[in-house]
Structure 1
Amino acid sequence: MTNIPETGRTPRVQIRLVIIQVLVCSLLLTLGGRLWYLQIRNGHEYADAAKNNHVQRVVQPAVRGSVLDARGVPIADNETRLVVSASRTELMKIKDRGKAVLTRLAGVLDMKPQDVMDKVRLCDSQTPKPCWNGSPYQPIPVTLEATTQQALQIRERPEDFPGITAEPTAVRRYPAPGAARAAQVLGYLSPVTDEEIQKAKDTDSPHLRSDQVGRSGLERTYDKELRGKAAVTSYEVDNLGRVMGQTESDPGVAGSTLVTSIDARVQAVAEYELQQAMKTVRNETDNITGRKYEADSGAVVVMETKTGRVVAMASQPDYDPNAWVGGISGSDYATLTSKNSNYPLLNRAIQGQAPAGSIFKVVSASAAVRAGYDFDDKYNCSASYNMGGRSFANFESKGHGPITLGDALKFSCNTVFYALGHKEWQRDGGLEPKKDAHDWFYRTAREFGFGSETGIDLPNEVTGRIPDRQWKKSFWEANKASWCKQGKKGGTYVEQIAYENCLEGNQLKAFDSINFAIGQGDVLVTPIQMATAYSAISNGGTLHDPTVGKAVISPDGKIEVIKPKPHGMLPIDAQTISNLDKGLRSVVEPGGTAAWRFGGWPLDKIPMRAKTGTAQVYGKQTTSWLATYTDDFAIVMTISQAGTGSGASGPAVRNIYNAMYGLDMEGNQDLKKALLPAPQAELPEVQPDGTIEAPTITPYVPPSPKDVPALAGPPAPPPGRQD
């Protein structure tokens, strides 16, 4: 068979390949051109469109947990209100930056346009309150009290109110059950800032822009537990805002409930009695200055002696924490931060510092025993103590002759402690201290807990001051230049003191130790420190971290108890504690400085211990102190510029005890009327869903003056018994 060559096929194949190559090149050129057109020629248009095709997060803030008293009564919770908010981001897109919208909104809400605009402006160092200190990207509340009609007007006319929302929202509330505000204990909330968001970003409790965070008090300490976790749902939307699909969903968790050791009933009594004591003493004349007492501030602490748990804590002046809800007004902010209102935001129970006066003598008596002096030896209680040509008088210049340290507490004899403080200063080397100086008085004060924080679970506690040798040196180095500039030999009292401090302010002098021994001079203490120390004497020597939080209950009912935490022991033995206890009991017995305020008290049923104090502050009237305790509770009260301890604070402290134990002024007890005859050990009953059924509480009814002769007009105290 003959083979025929395929000469005709090869050219056809080649032609086809060429055609295919041309087509492929054409397609590539077409695609390349199209890509150039899309990415280069019109790239910015499509990039802008892509930006509008993004994920939108919808945040539903978690309901903040409630704060309850020890029996389950809410002292901070939430209520649903109609909240009108403005989106600053949306308003800034409008040509006039939202001015017309906010003006129309003001008309609907019956507000002044400027007030509305002030609400949505951002805070900075030059902008006064009101202003918004939270994130500029979250809705800013304009009012929390919109009516249904106002909300409907806004929602039915969205074209007139772009960026404005009106919807029901859970809002913080401080109900003040039984008139117990507990303002400084609870604290307040304000919006989270961008700085806080960044700081918490990588922690186990990050912030969202919608968060409200605690700024003081329990709201700040337990913010993480109370805040919960917001629900966040992420949607993919196009440039027209149409939802293209859900990408992610986090259901969130409601905030936990905080149960406190506060008893709202006792809190109400403490607040009322402190305020009433201040009002009463303002009508009395100060024999030293000839003026009425100013009684400008005060504090009281009621504490469980065996646990350190705080039953009540009041500070005056106080304020209504509801003023902060939804953003504080300019006038309210000015009042709360004004010198004229004496700074009501301060919690003077943990931030108020003053010389202790004679309630400090339990420290000095303990220091004397540690230094080798026998508690039951006799010490001369003369009318005055002379040192270097200077005379240091006893209170009202009254002497009692040779007495024990227990009697020195009973009569509050200054000269006994003057002498002990002076002798110990000399034994330690005086102006040229020995290398092995014991400094028993200063060391004992620090080991009682003074000069340092107690560890209470409230923010911004201050340390007070123990002016020992090291402090004198540091203080002198910091102030020497100012003293030398101000000082003048033979000038005014202030100039002379500055002159002396300039030359030798670094030295611990004899009169420093003499004054220190009676809680005067440069020593500063706080009411919470005193309550902690006196509680330790009551319980046998254990110093506890004071606590307000008692338990945290999660939304599913899981309970985490906050257990009492001791941080040390008093630096004295059991015998010395027993001797102090006996001496303090004698203060309320006939002849003691507090006896005239505790007449009729049933000492056989409810042992009472007390120490009065009257502290001198340069340029001011004397500060009243009264420290007391029973087997279960300690109460410490102080009132600035109010006179003597028993005179100003005595009736109020007695009334608080009477209400707690159900006593009348004759010492008769009615347990049905007793608010808290023993510490509240059990937690409120928690339901399966984590809720707590709150008992009812009635406002405190103070004793009638006709039923309480001591309140109808305080009886004149025996001479020398007012310290």
Structure 2
Amino acid sequence: MKRPPKDNEESARKISRRAALLGGAQLVFAGALVLRMRSLQLGQAEEFRLLADENRINIRLLPPARGTILDRSGLVLASNVQNYRIVLVREDAGAPRAALERLAELIPLTEEEIERAEREIMRHRPFVPVTIVDQLNWEEVARVAANAPAMPGITPEVGWTRFYPFGAEFAHSVGYVGPVSERDLEALESPDPLLMIPRFQIGKIGIEREMEDDLRGSAGHRRIEVNAVGREMRELDRQEGDAGANLQLTLDRSLQAFALARLGDQSAAAVVMEVQTGNVLAMASAPSFDPNLFVRGISVADYAGLRDNEYRPMSNKAVQGAYPPGSTFKIVTAMAAFEGGFATQDERVFCPGHIEISGRRFHCWNRGGHGRVNVTSALAESCDVYFYEMAQRTGIDRINAMAERMGLGLRYDLPLSGISSGLNPSREWKRDRRGAEWVVGDTINASIGQGFVLSTPLQLAVMTARIATNRAILPRLVHSINDIEQPLPEYPPLGLNPAHLAMVQRGMFEVSNSQRGTAYASRIVDEAMRMSGKTGSSQVFSITAAERASGIRRQDQLPWNRRDHALFVCYAPESAPRYAVSIVVEHGGGGSSAAAPIARDIILAAQNGGLPPVEAYPAPQRNRIESMIRTISDQIGPAVAASSLRGRA
């Protein structure tokens, strides 16, 4: 049926309106699209270009050179040496097992090392270089390089690693570095991105650890172009980082080496200080260990040998070892009594070999007694009864205060690991820690450096320096950073009465210079080098009644770990003090026989600026001393060369 013209006209009008609306919408959409394209191409072009570059260009950190550590005269104690290593790229080398077996034909690789390397390779993407072995010598690297055309994907490289040319001599003070561990990262709130670099090394103990921020330096970087899967294509540019700071220490290599050698195979420690500056010249802990073993990656067997050694070679006894100071503490008791007005120079105390206090008998080390003694003879002969009497008059409060004044019971601010504060006991300490009140017997024991009192060899050296100078000397270990000398503190006076101090100093002089002195056998006959000192023996275990019944009467009849510790402190020259020395020989027995001879040799070496002069010893001892010095001189020798210690972990 034919539609009327009127209907056709109406339909045409509707179609025209729809077409107009559709066309308008299309124009609006096209306009919006054009505007958006214009915005992307012009307004945001730089932003998208940057995003594209970030997908194409990577930034890789470059580890800086670690700062060098030097002794006081500029000898290098810790340096960086070339480290030759072999890396493997899996996509170029093919099957890892076959490639590693080919490599093992050129350099020694155990089956365990091959399996470990294979696991490491498979954990990374095929194009990532994986270090198979490091710390190779030049001959091994040369063999691999010569056969490189036959071993695709295996490449020798050179980097840097830490090296300690004097080996065990500075292991406890300088410390060592090692790879960053998860524990290291967890200990930091915001770890330096450098620490994420594979095989990056940081300080683990000693100065290497405590001054890590100074020694590490700041990272450099290189920009590299990578493809869509992250493979490096080419290096665009490189900016090297800033090397770590160079540290110069107060330690003296010659004196440190002599001190460690003189301690020998004993479990012992020695500290040498300049009494005017506080500079620590030597800090020896025996036995020691080679820190290069840890840098290379110490074997299980070597580590077990160090860990299980009853002499504790990995412990820095000079600052970590806390020992009863024994009779060296009598210096403190004497000063507390005189400064408190409880004793006079001329007063004498009768020593019958014991004293009765509160129904208990306290014995002197000389069971026969010393007779009538004053402070000078009591120090020289180390009479216990004299100091028992002084302790009753003075009380623990004044003794505690004088001990702190002398530098005991304090943790010194040095860049070393695990510094102990020792223990300077007080009434409050016993109440808080032991839940008991202080009694007179505690004071008696403390007066001779027993009971609760504990001191480190470093603290005893500080005490000796303060007695020698009447100033509040503090130990100092860092001389300069990047050739900028660290300021030397102005040590305030201790304020001790000079007359009282002179009496104690006189007693210390007679310890090694009076025939009745406990260290007379270790005297120095050269008047310009004579020393003043104090012996000490601290009881570890007492001989039981059963042991006495079985015939055990002497220390040397006991097992080693039950014998007394031997101690000696001294300063020299006595007329114008320059050096202070403290010695602790664990389970060495008597301070006069085990510790004093070592201290004499070390303080003579310090004064002589080298080996001890034989003519400073009593004539009957010179042949033996000359032989000992010759042996130590041969033992010390020059620094170890890096090439002689280089070897694969």
Q: What TM-score comes out, normalization by structure 1 length?
A: 0.69
Counterpart mapping for 1:443-522 below 5 A: 443-477=401-435, 506-522=436-452
Cα distance in 1 between the residues matched to 2:600 and 2:479 = 27
- Quote the residue 2:6 is aligned against: none
Cα distance in 2 between the residues matched to 1:573 and 1:634 = 21
Task: Report if the CA contact (8 A) 1:201-1:207 is conserved.
Answer: no
Counterpart mapping for 1:700-711 below 5 A: 705=624, 707=626
Counterpart mapping for 1:287-302 below 5 A: 297-302=267-272
Counterpart mapping for 1:166-181 below 5 A: 166-176=156-166, 181=169
Cα distance in 2 between the residues matched to 1:362 and 1:341 = 32
Task: Report if the CA contact (8 A) 1:594-1:650 is conserved.
Answer: no
Cα distance in 1 between the residues matched to 2:142 and 2:629 = 55
Cα distance in 2 between the residues matched to 1:448 and 1:138 = 58
Q: For 1:368, which of 337, 340, 346 is the aligned residue? A: 337
Counterpart mapping for 1:665-676 below 5 A: 665-667=614-616
SS at match of 1:171: strand
Displacement of 1:238 in angstroms is 1.9
Task: Report if the CA contact (8 A) 2:579-2:603 is conserved.
Answer: no
Counterpart mapping for 1:337-352 below 5 A: 337-338=307-308, 340-352=309-321
Mapped pair 1:542 → 2:535: no
SS at match of 1:79: strand
Counterpart mapping for 1:81-160 below 5 A: 81-84=83-86, 105-106=103-104, 108-115=106-113, 117=115, 142-146=133-137, 147-152=140-145, 155-156=148-149, 159=152
- Quote the residue 2:601 is aligned against: 655
- Quote the residue 1:574 is aligned against: 498
Task: Report if the CA contact (8 A) 2:523-2:531 is conserved.
Answer: no
Task: Report if the CA contact (8 A) 2:62-2:240 is conserved.
Answer: no
Task: Report if the CA contact (8 A) 2:343-2:390 is conserved.
Answer: no
Task: Report if the CA contact (8 A) 1:197-1:209 is conserved.
Answer: no
Q: Which amino acid aligns with 2:602?
A: I
Displacement of 1:393 in angstroms is 1.9
Q: Deviations over 1:36-65 (max 9, x none)?
A: xxxxxxxxxxxxx98994443333322212
Measured at CA, do residues 310 and 199 of structure 1 come closer, stay the same or move farther in structure 2, by a change above 3 Å? same
Mapped pair 1:611 → 2:534: yes
- Quote the residue 1:672 is aligned against: none
Q: Which amino acid aligns with 1:77?
A: S
Q: For 2:584, which of 623, 638, 642 is the aligned residue? A: 638
Measured at CA, do residues 329 and 99 of structure 1 come closer, stay the same or move farther in structure 2, by a change above 3 Å? farther
- Quote the residue 1:71 is aligned against: 73
Cα distance in 2 between the residues matched to 1:636 and 1:198 = 38
Cα distance in 1 between the residues matched to 2:281 and 2:193 = 30
SS at match of 1:588: helix
Mapped pair 1:214 → 2:219: no
Measured at CA, do residues 456 and 241 of structure 1 come closer, stay the same or move farther in structure 2, by a change above 3 Å? closer
Which range moved further: 559-568 or 392-401?
A: 559-568
Cα distance in 1 between the residues matched to 2:477 and 2:136 = 32
The count of corresponding residues between Structure 1 and Structure 2 is 562
Task: Report if the CA contact (8 A) 1:187-1:217 is conserved.
Answer: yes
Task: Report if the CA contact (8 A) 2:61-2:194 is conserved.
Answer: no
SS at match of 1:167: strand
Mapped pair 1:561 → 2:519: no
Cα distance in 2 between the residues matched to 1:267 and 1:710 = 15
SS at match of 2:173: helix
Measured at CA, do residues 657 and 551 of structure 1 come closer, stay the same or move farther in structure 2, by a change above 3 Å? same
Cα distance in 1 between the residues matched to 2:87 and 2:215 = 23
- Quote the residue 1:127 is aligned against: none
Q: Deviations over 1:306-360 (max 9, x none)?
A: 111111111112100110113222222222322x353311100000111111011
Task: Report if the CA contact (8 A) 2:380-2:514 is conserved.
Answer: no
Measured at CA, do residues 272 and 116 of structure 1 come closer, stay the same or move farther in structure 2, by a change above 3 Å? farther
Unaligned runs of 5+ in 2: 1-15, 35-50, 121-127, 543-561, 632-649
Task: Report if the CA contact (8 A) 1:205-1:224 is conserved.
Answer: no
Displacement of 1:589 in angstroms is 1.3
Task: Report if the CA contact (8 A) 2:615-2:622 is conserved.
Answer: no
Task: Report if the CA contact (8 A) 2:569-2:599 is conserved.
Answer: no
Cα distance in 2 between the residues matched to 1:386 and 1:531 = 33
- Quote the residue 2:567 is aligned against: 625
Displacement of 1:148 in angstroms is 2.0
Percent identity, please. Answer: 27
Cα distance in 2 between the residues matched to 1:251 and 1:142 = 26
Cα distance in 1 between the residues matched to 2:185 and 2:270 = 37
Measured at CA, do residues 417 and 190 of structure 1 come closer, stay the same or move farther in structure 2, by a change above 3 Å? same
Task: Report if the CA contact (8 A) 2:63-2:194 is conserved.
Answer: no
Measured at CA, do residues 423 and 100 of structure 1 come closer, stay the same or move farther in structure 2, by a change above 3 Å? farther
- Quote the residue 2:273 is aligned against: 303
- Quote the residue 1:59 is aligned against: 61
Displacement of 1:388 in angstroms is 3.4
Task: Report if the CA contact (8 A) 2:411-2:420 is conserved.
Answer: yes
Task: Report if the CA contact (8 A) 1:457-1:547 is conserved.
Answer: no
Counterpart mapping for 1:380-459 below 5 A: 380-425=350-395, 439-459=397-417
Measured at CA, do residues 511 and 220 of structure 1 come closer, stay the same or move farther in structure 2, by a change above 3 Å? same
SS at match of 1:705: helix
Q: Which amino acid aligns with 2:459?
A: Q
Mapped pair 1:191 → 2:179: yes
Task: Report if the CA contact (8 A) 1:536-1:542 is conserved.
Answer: yes
Cα distance in 1 between the residues matched to 2:406 and 2:605 = 30
Task: Report if the CA contact (8 A) 1:120-1:142 is conserved.
Answer: no
Counterpart mapping for 1:262-277 below 5 A: 262-275=251-264
Q: Deviations over 1:538-579 (max 9, x none)?
A: 1222231x12221111xxxxx221233467654633332222
Measured at CA, do residues 388 and 313 of structure 1 come closer, stay the same or move farther in structure 2, by a change above 3 Å? same
SS at match of 1:318: coil
Displacement of 1:76 in angstroms is 1.3
- Quote the residue 1:354 is aligned against: 323
Task: Report if the CA contact (8 A) 1:141-1:326 is conserved.
Answer: no
- Quote the residue 1:252 is aligned against: 241
Q: Which amino acid aligns with 1:624?
A: A
Task: Report if the CA contact (8 A) 1:231-1:251 is conserved.
Answer: yes
Measured at CA, do residues 375 and 709 of structure 1 come closer, stay the same or move farther in structure 2, by a change above 3 Å? farther
Displacement of 1:656 in angstroms is 2.0
Q: What is the aligned-residue RMSD (CA, Å)?
A: 4.1
Q: Which amino acid aligns with 1:307?
A: T
- Quote the residue 1:586 is aligned against: 510
Displacement of 1:704 in angstroms is 6.0
Mapped pair 1:237 → 2:226: yes
Q: What TM-score comes out, normalization by structure 2 length?
A: 0.76
Task: Report if the CA contact (8 A) 1:180-1:267 is conserved.
Answer: no
